[in-house]
Amino acid sequence: MKTTAAGEPVVVDDFVVTDHEFSRFTAFVHRQTGIALNETKRPLVCSRLSKRLRHYGYVRLRQYYDHLTERDPTGEELAHMVNALTTNKTEFFREAHHFALLRTEILERCATANGPRRLRVWSAGCSSGEEAYSIAFTVLDGLEDAADWDVRILASDIDTNVLALATRGVYAANRVAGVPAALRERYLLRGRGPSEGLVRVRPEVTRLVTFRRINLRDEAWPIRAAFDAIFCRNVLIYFDHALQRRVVRRLAEHLKPGGHLFLGHSESLLGMGPGLRSLGKTVYAKVRGGEHR
């Protein structure tokens, strides 16, 4: 990266970016996705978008901004832009204590409750699907009579590329190292021949999970369900505080009373508003009456 005097253009990966261009572009990204990008992210933004700019022969970020705002009526390029800028870091059974609590608290509570045998879980920001399938493995293994239950797991992300990967349910064998051995044997199929080195999630697992594109920044979410648990881990860190508060409030509205919200290890609901009680280790329970603790 070559920098010039304050206020002058900056060259990043052979693209010219002025302060004004970057500020205007990141404001557009924020409006579309909720992702907050500060000046320190300028090299990252340009690096991730370099392929898209080269696709059109652009050498200025403002040219790409003009394309997105004036020559993209279907939103096709907007989707490419979002896919390029989103960060997708995930693994099976990441933060294993969350899945242990899912098994010992949530499943046991649902199993002993009166009423329909129904379980609803949402993986918000599911990336390439490892979290959603980890939830499904835990549910199938934790319910003795899982076949008699109405289980639905919603898995959503803003990135259409990772959703396509998640829907396939095929992973490199080294990616499933975090899955307990007994669950690997029970719920994953090993590839043979041309598929050697790959594993596929078994159909009895994939049929529990529905993948959908949902932008948490949108004013309305296409969801009517009330969930027993919502996993929204390492998503809020990309939003500014105002959007964090709004998303948390709406997530809480989609939880059943007593339902659990799971956040990432570096996230906290401190000052986020009423309705959720901390259980420790970035786990929160929706409390009746809306009091905050």
Predicted TM-score (pTM) of this structure: 0.91
Across residues 108-120, what is the average pLDDT? 87
Adjacent-strand bridge partners of 120: 152
As annotated, the active-site residues are 48, 157
113 or 207, which is more confident: 207
Rounded Cα–Cα distance for residues 112 and 245 (Å):
33
- Give residue 191's pLDDT band: very low, low, confident or very high (50, 70, 90): very high
Phi, psi of 258 (to 5 degrees): 85, -10
Which one, of 221, 174, 229, lies nearest residue 199 by Cα? 174
Q: Is residue 1 part of a domain?
A: no
What pLDDT is attached to residue 11? 59
Instruction: Give the CATH number of the domain where residue 163 resides.
Output: 3.40.50.150
Q: Is residue 184 located within the same domain as residue 248? A: yes
Q: Is residue 77 located within the same domain as residue 167? A: no
- pLDDT tens digits, 42-95: 999 999 999 999 999 999 999 999 999 999 999 999 999 999 999 898 999 999
Q: Is residue 193 part of a domain?
A: yes
Phi, psi of 212 (to 5 degrees): -145, 150
Q: Is residue 30 located within the same domain as residue 113? A: no
106-114 long-range contacts (CB < 8 A, ≥24 apart) are 106/228, 106/229, 106/260, 107/138, 107/139, 107/142, 107/143, 109/258, 110/228, 111/143
Instruction: Give the CATH number of the domain where residue 19 resides.
Output: 1.10.155.10
Phi, psi of 21 (to 5 degrees): -60, -45
Q: Is residue 135 located within the same domain as residue 265? A: yes
Q: Is residue 48 located within the same domain as residue 190? A: no
Q: Is residue 4 part of a domain?
A: no
In 79-160, beta strands by DSSP E: 118-124, 150-157
Residue 6 has pLDDT above 90, yes or no: no
Q: Is residue 293 part of a domain?
A: no
Q: Is residue 275 located within the same domain as residue 163? A: yes
Number of domains forming the structure of the chain: 2
Q: Is residue 138 located within the same domain as residue 217? A: yes
Q: Is residue 115 located within the same domain as residue 140? A: yes
Which one, of 176, 167, 175, 156, lies nearest residue 254 by Cα? 156
Q: Considering the chain, what is the average pLDDT of its residues? A: 91
Residue in the structure block whose two tokens are 């080269």: 54
Across residues 4-24, what is the average pLDDT? 70
182 SS3 class: helix
Residue 111 has pLDDT above 50, yes or no: yes
What pLDDT is attached to residue 113? 82
Across residues 267-289, what is the average pLDDT? 85
The boundaries of the domain holding residue 270 are 96-286
Q: Is residue 91 part of a domain?
A: no
Rounded Cα–Cα distance for residues 232 and 227 (Å):
13
